[in-house]
Amino acid sequence: MTNNDTLRRLRYALDISDIKVAEIISLSGHPTAAEEVSNWLKREDEADHTELSDTLLCHFLDGLIIEKRGPHPSGKNPEPQEFLSNNEALKKLRIALELKEEDVLAVFKNAEFIVTKAELGSFFRKEGHRNYRKVPEQVLRKFIRGLSKKD
């Protein structure tokens, strides 16, 4: 799943417009136009399609945190990551949407996908921890699908 697919799915799941996506990204300190967002959301075979980098997806997720929870108490925007793993994306979504463990499990249940508490905990560990486990693309995809069915 590409970053463009991830943004497309999140936009649908959270029911937000291109303009709102641009506003959210701008909250993280990266001014963005709705036209840029439109180009990211186009399919690969369409004219004007632009690849979405990990850094820009990170800007979106950081902006989503700011949009939903307010700015960081220090007043500083986090530095975007050059490489955004599925684990980091899942973490940022959990933070933005203020989801506790039970809420995350309920989102997966909405997508008809079973994740155990132990497995979920392993996704949120630091890389290098003995119980750390990478989030497969399918898991992130199912989580986003569960978000769209949440309401």
Q: Sketch the domain layout of the chain as residue ranges.
A: 3-69, 100-148
Lookup: tokens for 108: 């997966």
Rounded distance between C-alpha atoms, residue 45 and residue 74, angstroms: 43
Average pLDDT in the 96-108 region? 96
pLDDT attached to residue 86: 96
Helix (H, G, I), strand (E, B) or coil at 15: coil
Rounded distance between C-alpha atoms, residue 149 and residue 118, angstroms: 24
- Is the model's pLDDT at 151 over the cut of 80? no
Residue of 107, 121, 61 lying closest to 88 (CA atoms): 61
Eight-class DSSP state of 86: H
Average pLDDT in the 24-49 region? 93
Please, which pLDDT band fits residue 150 given cuts at 50, 70 and 90? low
Lookup: tokens for 124: 């949120």
Mean pLDDT of the chain: 93
Tell the residue number behind the tokens 């709102």, with chain if given.
Answer: 20
Please, which pLDDT band fits residue 92 given cuts at 50, 70 and 90? very high
Rg (CA), the chain: 15
Are 2 and 141 in contact by the 8 Å Cβ rule? The answer is: no
